Amino acid sequence: MIVKTFSLLPSTFSLPSMTTTILSTTIGRFAPSPTGPLHLGSLVTALGSYLLARQGGGQWLLRIEDLDTPRVIPGVADDMLRTLEILGFQWDGEVLWQSRRGEVYAAALERLLDQGSAYPCGCSRAEIARIATAPHSGDEGPAYPGLCRNGLPSGKIARSVRVRVSDEPICFQDGLLGEICQDLAATGGDFVIKRADGLFAYQLAVVVDDAESGVNQVVRGADLLSSTPRQIHLQRLFGYTEPDYFHLPLVTDPDGTKLSKRDNAVSLAASRDLEREGHLLLFDSLHFLGQNPPLFLRDASCAEILSWAVAHFSLDAVPRMPGPFPLHS
């Protein structure tokens, strides 16, 4: 078992309560952000999540995470949908758009405020950075020192909303990486769930969306591994059942650096001829996931490749470490 620890040492709307719901079907999802064209890393994630959900006879949902509107590029979401269609992916139900769910997130936020699990914060990032004493920081900068935890200090005006964390580590069993533990208080402190610009934060939206959609299997890239404990913390505050998590290895350049979206796009918008090379991209993605597809599949259709992959997908064969994308085409 691989054990990893992240720490600083070296309203009227009724939200679902997933603790009372028994799910008999696997429900997975793919949730790209339309801030750039689909790229090799997101293709690997789409494929891995699709295969793991379908292999268990489950559903595969599609969600467009267009919540961060200033970063959304017009037309990219439609291009993503068309790209996935050409590559043979078939999703269940309607596409969920985060940008259309503000009222749902507002209700979730009010629920946390009402139960005392969240509070308004008047601190800016610059202010937090000036007073931070911790030698390390989390994904969102230095650990929040809790200046507004017991109420807004005199002269401060609420800018954002934060959720309270405890000093008890959050641990979970990742389906690929084993036990993961993170000390939320040490690595980031109380984290933002509504931003100073008025937008709801990713951590809140993804937890609410997964619960409302019945998602019980989350397969995504390892770059989101450190977000998972925060999301589990929110799930526990809401009383949701925690999904099973699987964090796939990241696709890197040959020198080990993470691929950029711009230079590794696999979408129609990037002038890829997917009708001609889409099946090769799927074939190579299977190789990256350690599946060793038979050579005859290089000449098969996207639908045939996906059908073979669903029947033969082996989680044990998936690499645990990042690596370069094996272009056999």
Q: Place 152 in a pLDDT band, splitting at 50, 70 and 90.
A: very high
pLDDT in the model for residue 164: 98
Residue 289 has pLDDT above 60, yes or no: yes
Kindly state the percentage of the chain with pLDDT values over 90: 75
Domains and CATH numbers, the chain: 24-102+203-324 (3.40.50.620), 118-202 (3.40.50.620)
Q: What is the pLDDT of residue 284?
A: 95
261 is catalytic: yes
Specify whether the CB–CB gap between 31 and 205 falls below 8 A.
no
- Distance from C-alpha of 211 to C-alpha of 238, rounded to nearest angstrom: 10
Which is catalytic among the residues 156, 194, 258, 261?
261
Structure confidence by residue, pLDDT tens digits, 87-119: 999 999 999 999 999 999 999 999 999 999 999
pLDDT at 235 over 70: yes
Percent of the chain scoring above 70 in pLDDT = 88
Distance CA 328, CA 114 (A): 55
Mean pLDDT across the chain, nearest whole number? Answer: 89
Report how far Cα 160 is from the mean position of its chain's Cα atoms.
22
pLDDT in tens, 153-198: 988 899 999 999 998 999 999 999 999 999 999 999 999 999 999 9
Confidence check: pLDDT of 257 > 80: no
Beta strands at 118-121 and 160-163: parallel, antiparallel or unpaired: antiparallel
Judge contact between 252 and 323, C-beta under 8 A: yes
- Give pLDDT tens digits for 49-75: 999 999 989 999 999 999 999 999 999
pLDDT of 138 reads: 59
Question: How far, in Å, CA of 60 to CA of 51, rounded?
Answer: 9
Q: How far is CA 291 from CA 54, 162, 178, in A?
A: 16, 42, 20
Residue 17, pLDDT above cutoff 80: no
**pLDDT band, very low/low/confident/very high, at 122 (cuts 50, 70, 90):** very high
